[in-house]
A and B are shown apart, each in its own frame.
Chain A
Amino acid sequence: MAHPTRRQFLRAMMLGGVSFFVLRNAQSAWSYQANEKLNLAFVGAGGRGAALVDEFSKLEQNILALCDVDWRHAAGTFQKFPDAKRYKDFRKMLDELHGQIDAVVVATPDHTHAVASVAAMKLGKHVYCEKPLTWCIGEARIMREVAHQKKVATQMGNQGLASSNTRQLVEILRSGAIGRITEVHLWTDRPIWPQGIDRPKDTPPIPPDLDWDLWIGPAPYRPYHPAYHPFRWRGWIDFGTGALGDIGCHVFPLPFLALDLRYPTKVCAISSGHNGETYPRWSIVQYEFPARGDLPPVRLTWYDGGQKPSAELLKDILKGETIPDNGHLFVGDKGVLFNGRLLPADQFKDYQPPAPTLPRAPQDNHYLEWVQGCKTGTPTMSNFEFASLVTEVVLLGNVALLTGETVHVNPKTGDLLSPLSARRYLSRPYRKGWAL
């Protein structure tokens, strides 16, 4: 699939007019393309990366190349796709294969999402990137900018947003089913990895299959330790984004879409405290969003590490049920939405959801939504324009957690107003040899 050529051809057609193509109108050109396989390269092929390789191979896309800094971690995937080229350094992969790659899937630890994705987009590749979109707010803004410039198809890996259920909930809330919404509560049982711990002092040898320097990527160097890799990097401030970063990008999109949220005016947090090394064991983060047009201001509260909304708040809703470990609660002046249920039940006995207004993902499949986006140009719902906004706001919660102070934001631009000391969390200098 000499894809770039075909894309150039299509672009030329759109610019130059259809008169040269009497037999093939634009429509048939698109459908022709839609039947082609995408040549996919993966940055991160173990863990979540392995699952994504499976998803896209089920969709019969072409698994062209696999890159992982830890070949043992990626061994299962390598075995399943023996024809795929193997790399440790995504920069080398992009360098060698950029003429053949159509799109790149990024499933690395949070701190390398941006370097990998931006490098791919700058080569004109479509990008699917795991959530959270980036490790810091500055990176999220650059991702948005580059995606916009390069006009590539993008999607962040918050797959729940592709389900018709979620999209219907957006429509229900938008239709005013529970009236004017001023309060949102979101909670998770994360972290399920260690947080609130100190940096290990011992320096075990680096496993032979792991390129530790590449794993560290743009982050400040530190010696290898199994406390970081695999998976447990999530709790470490230098690499992950904690419970909020992990789950926030899954659960914030519903209120963002339903309530038309953008940037908050302020964010404050309480937590078990942090030592500058790992995120707190638990936290409660509160966002204040301003009025938007006719919509009233909203207070959104996030709970993790075993914290949940107060029993008082939920007592009329649960009627004796225990509070589930994960959940959402939207409080309107005419009712509530609690984990997908409209309450009080009596009031919504005969409720009919509004006619769909949002597009549905093809076959409710998140991965297919992006694949089609790559082929047709239709933006995915979780494209980087939206995903970078959600990620920025999620990460503002981490800024509040890490500074321990109320963070004030310009709600129009998302720029941090105060405290100035929080700027250190907006972006960081990269280690030598790394750049966006």
Chain B
Amino acid sequence: MATRMKRRDFIRRTALVGAGLLILRDPKSAWSYQANNRLNIAAIGAGGQGGGLVNIFAGMGENIVALCDVDDRRAAETYKRFPNAKRYKDFRRMLDELANSIDAVTVATPDHTHAVASIAAMKLGKHVYCEKPLTWCIGEARAMRKAAIEHKVITQMGNQGTASDGLRQGVEIVRAGVLGQVREVHVWSNRPVWPQGVDRPKDTPPIPPDLDWDLWLGPAPYRPYHPAYLPFVWRGWCDFGTGALGDMGCHTLNLPVMALKLHRAIAEGKTVVVEAEHSGCNGESYPKWSIVRYHFPARAGMAPLTLVWYDGGKKPPQEVLSLIPGEVPGSGCLIVGEKGMLYAPGDYATRWQLLPADQFRDFRPPAPFLPRSPGHHREWVLACKGENITPMSNFVDYAAYLTEIVLLGNLAIRLGGRIEWDAATARVRGRPEAEPLVHRPYRKGWTL
């Protein structure tokens, strides 16, 4: 399907110039032809979550043309399953060689390489499905958004709960005003389930033969290899991961952010004040626990509110928990309105109940006004194929803003104290030391 890009260009042009030149092939039939085609997908990150993504897209009948992973051993299983896919260690080489034969790219690497990989793909006009959080730093999230706009590609971030009917109905209920004015939100997570609050290891074991350690580090500052960083446990390290909040924020904050249009505060260039309380952060790994308070201003016609995030075993205070029926789960979300509360137990906010229960016994949800999803991954695939569908967690309208909100918490954790984030200028007021955390300087050889 090497001619696919050309075909799409052709269709676009037709639409612009007019159908007069194409008597035999109207755009409609061209689209349906295209929809029957398979997407040529290249995967950046093929082990762990990357392997999972590849399976999902292959299961939907898409064509996995190439797999890229810096760790052959970690990717071995996926390699075995897709023997015909070309294999790479360096995504730059892969994109270089296959620029004309791929339609779309999945990115499921550690957080610190999401942006370099995704933006390189977008610059080639490739559609991108990228894992959450969208990026390691806010500057990258903004660059992702810009690239997606500039190159007009289809994007989706991997916070799959976004596609659930439950989450969307929850969003509709809050937006319909069922809870009245909302001024308070509590979100808690059972993360981290990996080490945090630890020091950098001092020993330097040899690099496993199947791992390209330099590529794994990518744009991050160089340090010697250690199994304390990979696989998976990079999440707790400041240079690579984004901690408990980065891992789960894009899931567990998803419903309140979307429902209360908190992302619009970022889009509208407002000031968001963030305060973090935590077990201590040495700049090496994220704290063992944290409580992050976000103060959002009025945005999109909604009242200012305070959102509090708790992780590492911290939970909302008893006054809040006492309002929740049953056992308090490890993760959850409580949206507190003047007229009632929406409580979503679990990590993904895909199910919820309205409280106090008595008050909502005869509750009927408002008529749906958000589209229901054919599936989070399918949204992206269908959009890539030209169907009239917009992936809900696309980079431009949502995912970059949601990620910025998540990363603001980390900024407050690392800077300490109370930070005033000016979303208009992407600066922390009066804290120039925030700059390298917002716009990360890259290691030589790496750019966006």
Contact = CB atoms under 8 A, between A and B. Distances in A.
Interface of A: 405-406, 408, 410, 417-424
Contacts of B336: 418, 420
B306 A420 contact: no
A423 B338 contact: no
A421 B306 contact: no
A173 B250 CA distance: 54
B306 A418 contact: yes
13 contacts: A405-B306, A406-B306, A408-B183, A417-B181, A418-B183, A418-B184, A418-B306, A418-B336, A420-B184, A420-B316, A420-B323, A420-B336, A424-B317
Interface centre among A405, A408, A419 (most CB of B within 10 A): A419
Interface string B332-347: 0000101000000000
Contact of A419 (B184, B318, B323, B338): B184
A269 to B, nearest CB: 15
Contacts of B186: 420
A410 B319 CA distance: 18
Cβ-closest 8 pairs across A and B: A418-B183, A418-B184, A423-B319, A421-B317, A420-B320, A420-B319, A408-B183, A421-B319
Contacts of A424: 317-319
A400 to B, nearest CB: 13
Interface in B147-206: 181, 183-184, 186
A158 to B, nearest CB: 31
Given A424-B317, A424-B319, A417 B306 contact: no
A405 B306 CA distance: 9
Contact of B320 (A405, A408, A410, A421): A421
Interface of B: 181, 183-184, 186, 306, 316-320, 323, 336, 338
A206 to B, nearest CB: 33
Given A417-B338, A418-B306, A419-B306, 4 more contacts: A405-B306, A406-B306, A417-B183, A424-B319
A231 B255 CA distance: 51
A424 B322 CA distance: 12
B316 to A, nearest CB: 8
A73 B246 CA distance: 60
Nearest to B181: A417
A421 B322 CA distance: 11
B338 A410 contact: yes
A230 B181 CA distance: 46
B379 to A, nearest CB: 35
A422 B320 CA distance: 10
Contacts of B318: 424
A417 B304 CA distance: 13
Contacts of B316: 420-421
B19 to A, nearest CB: 57
A419 B183 CA distance: 8
Contacts of B338: 410, 417
Nearest to A405: B306
Nearest to A408: B183
Contacts of A419: 183-184, 306
Contacts of A406: 306
Contacts of B181: 417
A406 B186 CA distance: 16
A406 B318 CA distance: 19
B418 to A, nearest CB: 10
A405 to B, nearest CB: 7
A148 B297 CA distance: 41
A427 to B, nearest CB: 11
A421 B338 CA distance: 15
Contacts of B317: 420-421, 424
A418 B335 CA distance: 11
Contacts of B306: 405-406, 418-419
A429 to B, nearest CB: 12
A424 B183 CA distance: 18
A294 B254 CA distance: 43
A412 to B, nearest CB: 11
A423 B186 CA distance: 15
A417 B183 CA distance: 8
A92 to B, nearest CB: 36
B174 to A, nearest CB: 15
A405 B220 CA distance: 38
A418 B186 CA distance: 12
Contacts of A423: 319
Nearest to A410: B338
Output the residue of A406, A408, A420 with the most chain B CB within 10 A: A420
A423 B318 CA distance: 10
B417 to A, nearest CB: 13
A410 B184 CA distance: 14
A379 to B, nearest CB: 33
A94 to B, nearest CB: 34
A34 to B, nearest CB: 49
Nearest to B275: A404
A218 B269 CA distance: 50
A401 B160 CA distance: 41
A407 to B, nearest CB: 10
A254 B126 CA distance: 69
A405 B295 CA distance: 10
Contacts of A410: 338
A405 B184 CA distance: 11
A308 to B, nearest CB: 25
Nearest to B303: A408
Contacts of B183: 408, 417-419
Nearest to B341: A420
Nearest to B184: A418
Nearest to A406: B306
B196 to A, nearest CB: 25
A420 B322 CA distance: 10
Contacts of B184: 418-420
A419 B316 CA distance: 11
B117 to A, nearest CB: 41
Nearest to B182: A418
Nearest to B334: A420
Contacts of A420: 184, 186, 316-317, 319-320, 323, 336
